[in-house]
Structure 1
Amino acid sequence: MQPELREDEVALLAGLCRIPSPSGEEGEAAAYLVDFLRRRGWRAEVDAAGNAVGERGTGEKTLLFLGHLDTAPGYIPVRREAGCLFGRGAVDAKGALAAFLAAAERVKAALGLRLIFIAAAGEETALSPGACYVRDRYRPDFCLVGEPSGWAAVTLGYKGCLNLTARVRRPAGHSAGPETGAPEVAVQFWTRVQELCAELNGGKSGFAALEASLRDMASQSDGLVEEARLGIGLRLPPGLEPAALKERLEGLDPRVELTFSPAQSAFKAGKNTPLARAFLAAIRAQGGRPAFKLKSGTADMNIVGPAWRVPILAYGPGDSRLDHTPSEHLPLSEYAQAIAVLARVLTHPALTGEGGVQRRQA
């Protein structure tokens, strides 16, 4: 049976999606959420990192929800069509923010947990400043990361990432001359990157494999010097640290200058935890067949998971294949199912008991 979905819950999601919030421009959306939270009795503020933060409940154990406010660039007009809500962020990841808040409001009278809700700034950037700020100031008992998993699945892990720019500068020469031109050197370097991935993978695939993607390329010449540039992204499996991979890349071709962006290590959480068990039970209670997912992207789980070492997973409605696309949309039936699952999780006895959270001053 399809669970209930109230119009005010749809309005919350639609209102969030109507506010453009690409990375670095989250202020209006943060203020919208803080106003929503305060009107419903949460202690709420925008913190020094630009995160929207809300707290409620007095339980001995604390669950911290960490979603993100920022979206990919590009505005998609919000509309309801064929049972779906279209809008930038509907899947990645305002749907998760809205579903968690809707669920918390449904069960607030029965809460046995202290809840901390954080809609972080800058998750779509390499530095993820909102999550880094949170990481150093909280120690929850459980952490739920708001990212699309589909209503009947939870995500246990994300690959790490290492992004780089490869630049080649060479004296300009005739195409019939003996010197290899900058564009050719750049292409040769990309081939060596692919060969390195194959060597390190040793036949492994999926979450266990190192993956490389060529994200952009350009070349130019002023008649005296020619230059070629490649933007390369690498997705790292558990056990392969960015520093070790960086060292191997730097040794591939001395003709190529490499510049690296901030990197993240892979992270995989355990599935035999009270939080995971609460989700499995809640999904089954809604008629779903629960599944565990491992993602090739990165998320704020990569930042807070290794630091906190508490039961953690990622959950949210929507199909992540729609992330960043011009057709991003969330079926409202999926949204309703996720709210119902989250409401059951927040009142599950596995998550109540002794414990707490420590908030440290910077």
Structure 2
Amino acid sequence: MSDLHARLVASFDETAVLDLLRRAVSVPSVTGTEAAFAALLADELHRLGAENVRTAEFLPGRPNVTATRRSGSDRPPVLLIGHTDTVHVRGWRERWAGDPREDPFGGAVVDGCLWGRGAADLKAGICMTLAAVHLLDQAGIPLAQDVQFSFVGDEESGEPGSGISAGMRHFCRDLDDGTLPRPGFAVYVEPSCLNVYAAQIGFFIADITVRGRSAYFGVPEQGVDALKATHAILSALWAHDERIRQAADHPLVGGSFLLVTGIEGGGFIAVPETCRVSLIRKLRPGEDLDEARLAMEAALHGTALHPDIRVEIGYPAGRDHPVGGIPFETLPNEPELRRLIGCIQAAAPGRGAIEGAPFWSEASFLTARGIPAVYFAPGDIRICHTFEERVPLQEYREGILALALFLAGAGRQTCC
């Protein structure tokens, strides 16, 4: 691998890869407005000589972009996939007023990092995929297998009426009906600090509405107190959380839990008629989401409440499951995962550890279809969605080199 790595380093164009990332960040693509960035990506794929470059709308005015770069190999393609949308920039300019970082789409380079909305989540990862294939071309090194690109919208969940993985659902329909080839391995370019996230949490969010009957405070016996009922429901939920936490931790993503995230009720000088509770349930790989939901509902229904109390439960965050997102794990002995780790360690010593994703994203759509998938890209998820979003340029550079090694087939015989 060392000779191959040396050839890639010799052909690396620092100016070009920085320009690509800056151009990507300069195109706003807050969820719902992905079209301009999708057009930029389609142009870049044409420049790479990719075939079947396709922009297909998953919702009106909101396209996915897919393409394939041929290799001549009969191996199953590797899928490089990421989402085109970012979270909003409200408050960014105020936070950085008078600073080079003031423009959230300016791509300022400060302290060796490129700053801006989407820089880490996840435009550096998308640019890494394009730059890695271009680097192989520049070095005269062929692809070891076909590379399938897919850039989908609607992953982020911060904007009203969006963020339900509509782009990923559309992409998976194309996989299922044979419109797109089925990959043998997938790299989803969520930021991972150049480690490999081989597992992710699952989740569901529940909004619980407790309804009683209001009454003037002077005659409370005429009412049914929703806040009092909610107290009993909260006690049941916290007891359920304690039972959940007794299960063994998963080695990569830790333990499961139920977290009450909000409560709202009352507000008048009267018996509270309505109270609302929000919660999130974390699942480990191997837990069934339907079973987790039913267990939570059973805990609620087992609570002794006034007969006139009504409890309604809504699940507002369905993704690859009607009520939430499914956990997954790609086993560490997966050959392409091991090979990817070896390539990362060759290009970025000290990186390439197998870890668990401290988030839910869309790779579980793929693993549910039997496609091994991992997260890998430059950037730190812990600063994404904040005014501190940035990506270290050294990490971006090393990610390009690592992915180029992987796409060239490095380590295939020795499995790194």
Q: Which string of whole-angstrom CA distances, capped at 9 and with x for unpartnered residues, describes residues 173-201 of structure 1? A: 43994677434543543443232122023
Q: Distance in 2 between matches of 1:297 and 1:74?
A: 21
What residue number does 1:60 align with? 74
Report 1:10-89 matches (<5 A). Answer: 10-43=18-51, 44-49=53-58, 50-58=63-71, 59-61=73-75, 62-74=77-89, 76=92, 77=104, 78=106, 79-89=108-118
Q: Distance in 2 between matches of 1:215 and 1:14?
A: 37
Q: Distance in 1 between matches of 2:372 and 2:395?
A: 25
8 Å contact kept, 1:149–1:314: yes
Amino acid at match of 2:384: D
Using the TM superposition, give the Cα deviation of residue 106 of structure 1 relative to its aligned residue in structure 2, in angstroms. 0.6
Using the TM superposition, give the Cα deviation of residue 112 of structure 1 relative to its aligned residue in structure 2, in angstroms. 2.3
Equivalenced residues, count: 349
What residue number does 2:240 align with? 196
Residue 240 (str. 1) matches residue 287 (str. 2): yes
What residue number does 1:359 align with? none
Using the TM superposition, give the Cα deviation of residue 351 of structure 1 relative to its aligned residue in structure 2, in angstroms. 6.0
8 Å contact kept, 2:343–2:410: no
Q: Which string of whole-angstrom CA distances, capped at 9 and with x for unpartnered residues, describes residues 303-351 of structure 1? A: 11121x2332110001111121121111111111111111111112566
What residue number does 2:378 align with? 317
Residue 127 (str. 1) matches residue 136 (str. 2): no
What residue number does 1:163 align with? 205
Q: 1:325 to 1:235 in 2, by over 3 A?
A: same
Identity of aligned residues (%): 23
SS of alignment partner, residue 165 of structure 1: strand
> Please, which moves more after superposition, 34-43 or 198-207?
198-207
Q: 1:115 to 1:244 in 2, by over 3 A?
A: same
SS of alignment partner, residue 22 of structure 1: coil
Q: 1:288 to 1:244 in 2, by over 3 A?
A: same
Greater fraction strand: 1
Using the TM superposition, give the Cα deviation of residue 250 of structure 1 relative to its aligned residue in structure 2, in angstroms. 1.9
Q: Distance in 2 between matches of 1:287 and 1:95?
A: 16
8 Å contact kept, 1:65–1:145: yes
- Greater RCO (CA < 8 Å, at least 6 residues apart): 1
8 Å contact kept, 1:172–1:221: no
SS of alignment partner, residue 13 of structure 1: helix
Amino acid at match of 1:45: R
8 Å contact kept, 1:5–1:336: no
Amino acid at match of 1:128: S
What residue number does 1:229 align with? 276
Q: 1:190 to 1:205 in 2, by over 3 A?
A: farther
Amino acid at match of 1:211: F
Where do 5+ consecutive residues of structure 2 fail to align?
Answer: 1-5, 93-103, 158-162, 176-181, 302-309, 319-323
Q: 1:295 to 1:184 in 2, by over 3 A?
A: farther
Residue 258 (str. 1) matches residue 313 (str. 2): yes
Report 1:85-96 matches (<5 A). Answer: 85-96=114-125
> Please, which moves more after superposition, 277-286 or 97-106?
277-286
Q: Which string of whole-angstrom CA distances, capped at 9 and with x for unpartnered residues, describes residues 226-282 of structure 1? A: 322223222211232121122122223354311113222210001212211222221
Amino acid at match of 2:353: A
- Give the structure-2-normalised TM-score: 0.77
Following superposition, which runs of at least 4 residues in structure 1 exceed 4 angstroms of deviation? 175-180, 220-225, 349-352
Q: Distance in 2 between matches of 1:201 and 1:241?
A: 16
Amino acid at match of 1:95: A
Larger C-alpha radius of gyration, 1 or 2?
Answer: 2
Amino acid at match of 2:300: D
Pick from 387, 393, 401 the counterpart of residue 332 of structure 1. Answer: 393
SS of alignment partner, residue 45 of structure 1: strand
Q: Distance in 1 between matches of 2:87 and 2:134?
A: 28
Where do 5+ consecutive residues of structure 1 fail to align?
Answer: 353-362
Amino acid at match of 1:244: E
Q: Cα RMSD between the aligned structures? A: 2.6
Amino acid at match of 1:237: R
